[in-house]
Structure 1
Amino acid sequence: MMATPAQPDNGNADVRAVERQQVDSPFFVQTLSRELSASPRRIAVAIVLAFTLVRLVWAYALGFGIDESYTIGQSRFLALSYFDHPPLHYWIAHAASVLFGTGWAIRIPTVLMFSATSWSIFCLTERLFGGVAAVFSVLFLNLSLFFLVSAGAWIVPDGPLMFFLACGAQVMVRIIFPSPGEKEPTIIWWILAGGLFGLAGLAKYSALFTLAGLVFFVIATRHRRQLLTAGPYVACFVGLIAIMPVLIWNVQHDWASLRFQTGRGSPQFAPSAFARMVLGQIVWLGPWIAIPLVQSALHAFRKGRTERELFCVALAVPAIGYTTLQALWSGAGFPHWPMPGWLFVFPLLGARLSGRIRPAIHYAITISLLTLTLLVTAVALGGSGALHRLNVPALHDPTEDLIDWSPVAKVLTPLRVGRPDGPAVAGLDWAEAGKLDFAVGEIAPVLVLGRDKRGFATRSDPRLAGRRGLVIVASEEAWAKKGSGLSCLPEDPLPVARVPVGRAGQAELTLLVIPVEGCIGAAQ
């Protein structure tokens, strides 16, 4: 095939390329592109409000999983700190339950907090890379699955953690990268930064990784001169004051929480665990966002990058690097652990996309439609239990954790549960006890008979079972696996009730209600 002869160039090729792009782009994309350049803050506000509405619908439509049920149950008992995590999200859940009860509205503070997180990331990115980059960063942050539903709507420690890390970083950007004409930051800014990072530590221990990255950035760049001022040391002192409840609680409980978090896994070479960590992060971020994020981070590593890019890299790498690599030698890890690091890669992604506005807009529209489709599907499956009704033996229904156990409360009432001298209630492990605690914790103390008691170990008195009797509530599956490991059971105990629970009027689990006397043994 012969090539077509080239036509003479009668004008500027770049101008023609821009004109072709204008012609090829739909009218609303052209309009959005112009508006994005002219009013990035207005678009950012619209994005934050839109995703706030999406999260509120999500919060209303789906029930509570194991982690949320456990958190709400534990939060009924105010303490300086707790076994699993620092106390902040428990305190927030307690306050929300006082205001809204334990229905779906208890998630509202988490939803609003992530809206504020989104705006903080916008402001941080705007200062570093400009308004257009900031719009893309906040949009793709909210389109990422973990930040959309877990950190953004669930009652878990990640919501408060992300909020205070983002706000603390935003203050540090104001200190380190002042805009032309701005006054030199005073000690108040350092106090504010210390307080915000301290509150991040009051939300989750992994805030330490972000702080380590920040310290490294300051030491490794010209900003080390800040160490000659009082600001950093005042900030450290304020942060230490903020996390004091965690330190006091750990001292009182033989460092139980820190020993639990640092003792996960066992020394071993575990490439499969490492692979799960990597793949899990890709899934949680969304592959369509994870790949551009990685590309943006690698781009910022190249020689000649600016300090502003290195600032984001420094805050991101410790959390991502350590929590991912440690799975290789410990065999333990969850893909949400590195997410505080990925939070600070989104500004880099926004900066990279800001140079290609129209392709970025097309991509954002595609990802938005895909994400909306996934959310609608998840709500439909989670609310109906459709996966369970497929009855495929090899297919585990991940939405099964959303099943509400509250129907069991009606069965417990005739057994004197809830009366001052009535029996306590127990689950066979911390996860089922968490679901049980959410269902009946307001009327009866809940214990765990298994070895892994989590927060129940420091909250409940096991002697209650000996003084008042005990009613075990367990799913049939858990009872078949762990019931025989209880050393104190009478021979062949019989349940007094079988309670079906499920969704959309369909039974999916059967809960066994088994009264026993003085059973405080451990389940295997």
Structure 2
Amino acid sequence: MRHQSPSSWAAICICIAALVHFALGFSIEFSVDEAHYALYAQHLAWSYFDHPPLVGWIQWPLVALTSSEGLIRLVPEFLWAIACFLVYLVTLEIHRYIQGRNSGYLTSALPSANACGLMAVLAIIAAPMPHVLAIGLLPDTLLAPLSLGLMLMALRWLIQDHFTIGDWLLTGALLGLAGLSKYTAIFTAFALLLVLISARRKPWIGKIGFWLAAILALLLISPVLYWNWVNDWISFKYQIAHGSGGEWLWRRLGAFLGIQIIAFGPLLIIGSYIFLKDCMHGTKLSLLSLLGFFFIPFVIFASLSGGGSLPHWTTPAWFCLAPFAGIGLAKAWSIQHRTVIRLLFILQIALCLIGFGFVLSGGISSASIKSNPIADLYGWKSAGQKAAELTQATKADGIAVQNWTLGSRAAWYAKPIPVFVLDQRKDQFDLWFGELPSGANILLIHWSGMSFPPPIATKAGFERCEPLDNLEIQRFGRVLSKFDFSLCSNWQGPSAAE
């Protein structure tokens, strides 16, 4: 490493990780969420039932040109690389801010800004969860670089004497794009507001630039507001119910925190602890306000986790914590605490590589197909193509599944055949394909990894379902899952199956 600068090594490490993502992106089929958001791009709209529209808009050009999973996955890969670059850049700016506010021993004891930036990038590369979002496009993949961009603007506000109109407009654009990415961007907006309030001597609310930024942000999110207005605010109602989850349990909170440590690694936590302990002198209020970009969303998600939450929701927050962790890790490295850092880095990279191998192998062999979560990533392309052929051969009115998570892959890989979800939960499929008409004949797909009783009932379901064909999915000689196809006749109303 002595022959390259820290910035060069940061770029090299990002490129190596990107190549691994690129190889994986061409090796596996779409996950349920990826297929769902690719369908966003195929059915362009002002907004969607469960998320704002940017996750669909941004991949529309590639989806319009190709159906290759690997090529479409260039979008999240590009966003991940931008986020890593912004982690490096924000680290340099925080280092510069600390040096500008401190003198004496602390300033001289800090490692170089480039070394801190390298450590911050390595901490992100060694974290398992960001690799998932680098391969598969989720709203959080978008929100990570946008949150870092807003954090960078907050740093500029603290360092510079004033904001130009251009700075305000850029801030407003980033806020608007964040709002188009995910509704939880409101937490990032709160963090930015906290920074503005913390700088007491800098007036902002009376500045014309601030109001221009606010107007621009509102203009950018206006498609979401308009779409929800004409659709009875269904997206907001769904998100409120989804975020509240079920019964609040302490064990869920404990599980959430444990999964966070595994998913993002101890390096980010240890580096941040060292930063808080050794690098806060003389700049506590302003730096604590910047840490709001991590703590505000993380604390909110942790408090909601008792009712149920997903581990990747905190990913943008961890990206915003990485610059602080990088400075802390670089400081620990400079005072000879290198063995522990090396060991943790090697362990986290090994965990990532084991995860990559686990995905490529098709999962661990098990007597129970349901116990293998990786089976969900294989077979849907073949199943979708067979379903399309059977639908055309039987002149069925479309394809049916019994859960929306099965519908995303079916709709993507069997396009343009309509897909109906046989449950009573209103979702995006109802907006795309409408309700299944009474008396319809449908090709039903049953996947062995998610079993449901046959949707046959006197008053709610089909009159009969007749088996047509099946498809066994194998990976390296092992059976991962099985698809069964049936022709179901005379739909008589909403299915009782959930």
Answer yes or no: is the 8 Å Cα contact 2:470–2:482 preserved in 1: yes
Secondary structure of the residue aligned to 1:447 is strand
Aligned to 1:136: 119
- Note closer, same or farther for the CA distance 1:422–1:294 as it changes in structure 2 (3 Å cut): same
Query: Where in structure 2 are the equivalents of 1:416-495 lying within 5 Å?
Result: 416-417=391-392, 422-440=396-414, 442-463=415-436, 465-466=437-438, 469-476=441-448, 478-481=450-453, 483=455, 487-490=459-462, 493-495=465-467
Bigger CA drift: 167-176 or 79-88?
A: 167-176
CA deviation vs aligned residue, 1:388-439 (integer Å, no higher than 9, x gap): x33268x8222122122222345435544399x7521111010111121222
Answer yes or no: is the 8 Å Cα contact 2:384–2:413 preserved in 1: yes
Match of 1:379 among 353, 356, 366: 356
- Note closer, same or farther for the CA distance 1:322–1:293 as it changes in structure 2 (3 Å cut): farther
Aligned to 2:104: none
Cα deviation, residue 350, structure 1: 1.4
1:96 lines up with 2:54 in the alignment:
no
Answer yes or no: is the 8 Å Cα contact 1:499–1:510 preserved in 2: yes
Q: Distance in 2 between matches of 1:327 and 1:485?
A: 37
Q: TM-score, normalised by structure 2?
A: 0.87
Answer yes or no: is the 8 Å Cα contact 1:427–1:472 preserved in 2: yes
Aligned to 1:114: 80
CA deviation vs aligned residue, 1:1-26 (integer Å, no higher than 9, x gap): xxxxxxxxxxxxxxxxxxxxxxxxxx
- Note closer, same or farther for the CA distance 1:99–1:486 as it changes in structure 2 (3 Å cut): farther
Query: Where in structure 2 are the equivalents of 1:44-63 lying within 5 Å?
Result: 44-63=10-29
Q: Distance in 1 between matches of 2:79 and 2:245?
A: 36
Q: Which runs of 5+ in 2 are unaligned?
A: 96-112
Aligned to 1:345: 321
Query: Where in structure 2 are the equivalents of 1:24-423 lying within 5 Å?
Result: 31=2, 39-129=5-95, 130-147=113-130, 149-178=131-160, 184-222=162-200, 224-264=202-242, 265=244, 268-286=247-265, 288-292=266-270, 295-296=273-274, 299=277, 304-328=282-306, 331-358=307-334, 359=336, 365-387=342-364, 389-391=365-367, 396-413=371-388, 415-417=390-392, 422-423=396-397
The amino acid across from 1:281 in the alignment is Q
The amino acid across from 1:401 in the alignment is D
Secondary structure of the residue aligned to 1:228 is coil
Answer yes or no: is the 8 Å Cα contact 2:25–2:70 preserved in 1: yes
Q: Distance in 2 between matches of 1:410 and 1:48?
A: 36
Answer yes or no: is the 8 Å Cα contact 2:442–2:488 preserved in 1: yes
Q: Distance in 2 between matches of 1:367 and 1:61?
A: 29
- Note closer, same or farther for the CA distance 1:412–1:40 as it changes in structure 2 (3 Å cut): closer
- Note closer, same or farther for the CA distance 1:360–1:190 as it changes in structure 2 (3 Å cut): farther
Secondary structure of the residue aligned to 2:47 is coil
Q: TM-score, normalised by structure 1?
A: 0.83
**How many pairs does the alignment contain?**
477
The amino acid across from 1:351 in the alignment is I
Bigger CA drift: 240-249 or 452-461?
A: 452-461
The amino acid across from 1:512 in the alignment is D
Answer yes or no: is the 8 Å Cα contact 2:29–2:380 preserved in 1: no
Q: Distance in 1 between matches of 2:119 and 2:229?
A: 45
Q: Distance in 1 between matches of 2:177 and 2:434?
A: 31
- Note closer, same or farther for the CA distance 1:116–1:348 as it changes in structure 2 (3 Å cut): same
Aligned to 1:516: 488
Answer yes or no: is the 8 Å Cα contact 1:469–1:517 preserved in 2: yes
Bigger CA drift: 164-173 or 313-322?
A: 164-173
Q: Distance in 1 between matches of 2:458 and 2:375?
A: 26
- Note closer, same or farther for the CA distance 1:128–1:416 as it changes in structure 2 (3 Å cut): closer
Bigger-Rg structure (1/2): 1
- Note closer, same or farther for the CA distance 1:362–1:506 as it changes in structure 2 (3 Å cut): same
- Note closer, same or farther for the CA distance 1:317–1:377 as it changes in structure 2 (3 Å cut): closer
Q: Distance in 2 between matches of 1:345 and 1:324?
A: 16
Q: Distance in 1 between matches of 2:441 and 2:173?
A: 47
Q: Distance in 1 between matches of 2:168 and 2:66?
A: 35
Q: Distance in 1 between matches of 2:275 and 2:379?
A: 41
Cα deviation, residue 307, structure 1: 4.7
Cα deviation, residue 163, structure 1: 1.5
